[in-house]
A = this chain, B = another copy of it.
Amino acid sequence: MRRDTFQAIADPTRRAIIALLALQAMTPNAIEKHFDTTRQAVSKHLRILTECELVRQEQKGREIYYSLEIEKMKEIDEWIAQFRKIWEARFSQLDEVLAVMKKKK
């Protein structure tokens, strides 16, 4: 069973849950109301997110509040960084070209 951050964000429902939890901690019941699935399906997603350590739980009486472990998202950001570097380099190249064109004019 692969269980990493990339696999966690592969599912659109999980991405939506992550985005929700970025704003505030929520209980499974509260999360469920934002979607068209059953509570159990949400619960399964939360299980996966917990296993990936993208989310942490905090028991409050009989409710469990889930909140986002936002630091984990940096894993994705770091991987993307190598490509961002490339397109930023291209952009500055374009900038140079434009500067040269302007000069000539």
Contact indicator per residue, chain A 70-102, by CB within 8 Å of chain B (1) or not (0): 110110110110111011000000000000000
Contact for A77 among B7, B70, B80, CB less than 8 A: B80
Contact for A82 among B4, B6, B7, B22, CB less than 8 A: B22
B7 touches A79 (CB 8 A): no
Q: Report the 7 A-B pairs with minimum CB-CB distance, sorted nearest first.
A: A10-B10, A73-B83, A7-B10, A77-B80, A6-B10, A76-B80, A70-B87
Contact indicator per residue, chain A 21-35, by CB within 8 Å of chain B (1) or not (0): 010000000000000
The answer to the question of A19 belonging to the interface, with a C-beta cut-off of 8 Å to chain B, is yes
**What range describes how many residues of A lie at the interface?**
20 to 34
CB contacts (< 8 Å) of A82 on chain B: these are 19, 22
CB contacts (< 8 Å) of A2 on chain B: these are 12
Task: Give me 5 A-to-B residue pairs in the complex whose CB atoms sit less than 8 angstroms apart, sorted by A's number.
Answer: A6-B12, A9-B79, A10-B10, A71-B87, A73-B83
